[in-house]
């Protein structure tokens, strides 16, 4: 009887060995799924971070008018290498400066550890990122006000704003710049205020189009208190016609202005002027964030309000 039990035990051990051998392939297959696929996912994430960083960096260079294919390729290569451990990865750049868009493609090969048992030795891993840059071409301003572009040139020295020196811009005949306007007024009766959207203090404008002015000197003063020391995008105009309710301004571009004080009819804060004068103090500044209230695109009127942003996959 003992002999029979010994034979049976040896038979069981042999069966377990066969069963373990049969299960080894699917077990390794599961390891391939859990380990090799996870490694591929990690590689793809790193490549995506590298592609995003490269696309945004190239877009920033182009937004600063430092745009070129050779420079873009060098930037892409450097940033992909910094964000991944795959130094053999391939990098390609499609730069379309006229459209304000750049696409970076990256790819690499991942050698597997367990998947070769299933006949899969390696996998191709890739990532794509597209970034855009541009200036506002239309949008809704938080204040129904437009500055004369000549005032912008006078305050910034004829270029993109680079300092934060507080200045006062007059809206009446007391303007202290040399802007060539009749009697010192931008539009007689208009004073730079725009007709707001119904029920709001906001105004929608678009480059190259005319927008109706608002007579009087109150304009959007009821909304000024919420804009203390805030930076907002405002339209600049380069031409005007009419007066009063029939005043129209032609939008030239958009600039960012930080409000530090004002003296208006019925509204005063840190008053930079007195009496019957009407003025706003502050400074033009660079504005590199993308506002959801504006549409962006390539523009020859780069007045410091430039945005860089990732675009959705095509």
Question: Tens digits of per-residue pLDDT, 55-90?
Answer: 999 998 988 778 889 999 999 999 999 887 656 789
pLDDT of residue 172: 55
- In degrees rounded to 5, what are phi and psi of residue 89? -65, 150
- The tally of domains found in the chain comes to 2
Is the pLDDT at 205 greater than 80, yes or no? yes
Q: What is the pLDDT of residues 129-159, one digit of tens each?
A: 999 999 999 999 999 999 888 888 887 877 7
Q: Who has greater pLDDT, 301 or 186?
A: 301
Task: Tell me which of 73-87, 207-221, 235-249 is least confident.
Answer: 207-221
* In the block, residue with structure tokens 């930037």: 75
Q: Is residue 116 part of a domain?
A: yes
Q: Indicate the residue among 134, 166, 195 that finishes a domain.
A: 134
| Alpha carbons 36 and 116: distance in angstroms, whole number | 10
Q: What is the 3-state secondary structure (H, E, C) of the chain?
A: CHHHHHHHHHHHHHHHHHHHHHHHHHHHHHHHHHHHHHHHHHHHHHHHHHHHHHHHHHHHHHHCCCCCHHHHHHHHHHHHHHHCCCCCCEEEEEEEHHHCEEEEEEEEEEECCCHHHHCCCEEEEEEEEEEEEEEEEEEEECCCECEEHHHHHHHHCCCCCCCCCCEEEECCCCCCCCCCCHHHCCCCCCCCEECCCCCCCCEEEECCCEEEECCCCCCCHHHHHHHCCCEEEEEEEEEEECCHHHCEEEEEEEEEEEEEEEEECCEEECCCCCCCCCEEEEEEECECCCCCCEEEECCCCCCCECEEEEECCC
Q: Do 234 and 276 sit in the same domain of this protein?
A: yes
Residues 182 and 260 both lie in one domain:
yes
Q: Are residues 165 and 285 in the same domain?
A: yes
Does pLDDT of 304 surpass 90? no
- 311 part of a folded domain: no
For residues 130 and 158, membership in a common domain is answered with: no
| Same-domain status, 153 and 123 | no
Q: Tell me which residue range forms the domain holding 52.
A: 1-134
Q: What pLDDT, on the 0 to 100 scale, is given for residue 241?
A: 86
287 lies in the same domain as 160: yes
Q: Give ∠ CA 301-219-287 in degrees, rounded to 5.
A: 30
**Domain end residue (candidates: 134, 165, 181):** 134
**pLDDT score, position 94:** 96
Does residue 314 fall inside a structural domain? no
């Amino acid at each position: 009887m003992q002999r029979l039990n010994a034979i049976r035990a040896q038979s069981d051990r042999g069966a377990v060995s066969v069963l373990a051998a049969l299960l080894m392939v699917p077990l390794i297959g599961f390891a391939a799924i859990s380990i090799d696929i996870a490694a591929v996912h990690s590689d793809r994430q790193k490549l995506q971070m590298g592609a995003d960083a490269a696309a945004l960096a190239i877009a920033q260079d182009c937004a600063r008018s430092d745009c070129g294919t050779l420079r873009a390729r060098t930037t892409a290569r450097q940033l992909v290498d910094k964000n991944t451990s795959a130094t053999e990865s391939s990098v390609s750049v499609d730069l379309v400066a006229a459209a304000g868009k750049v696409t970076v493609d990256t790819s690499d090969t991942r050698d597997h550890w367990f998947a070769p048992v299933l006949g899969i030795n390696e996998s191709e891993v890739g990532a794509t990122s597209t970034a855009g840059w541009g200036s506002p071409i239309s949008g809704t301003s938080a204040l129904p006000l437009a500055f004369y572009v000549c005032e912008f040139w006078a305050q910034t020295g004829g270029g993109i704003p680079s300092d934060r020196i507080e200045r006062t811009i007059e809206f009446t005949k007391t303007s202290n710049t040399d802007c060539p306007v009749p009697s010192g007024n931008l539009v007689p009766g208009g004073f730079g205020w725009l007709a707001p959207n119904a029920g709001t203090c906001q105004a929608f404008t678009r480059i190259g189009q005319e927008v109706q002015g608002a007579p009087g000197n109150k304009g959007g003063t009821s909304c000024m208190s919420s804009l203390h020391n805030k930076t907002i995008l405002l339209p600049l105009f380069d031409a005007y016609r009419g007066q009063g309710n029939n005043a129209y301004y032609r939008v030239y571009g958009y600039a960012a202005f930080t409000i530090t004080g004002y003296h208006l009819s019925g509204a005063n804060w840190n008053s930079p002027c007195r009496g019957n004068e009407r003025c706003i103090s502050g400074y033009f500044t660079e504005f590199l964030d993308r506002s959801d209230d504006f549409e962006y695109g390539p523009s020859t009127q780069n007045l410091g309000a430039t945005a860089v942003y990732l675009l959705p996959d095509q």
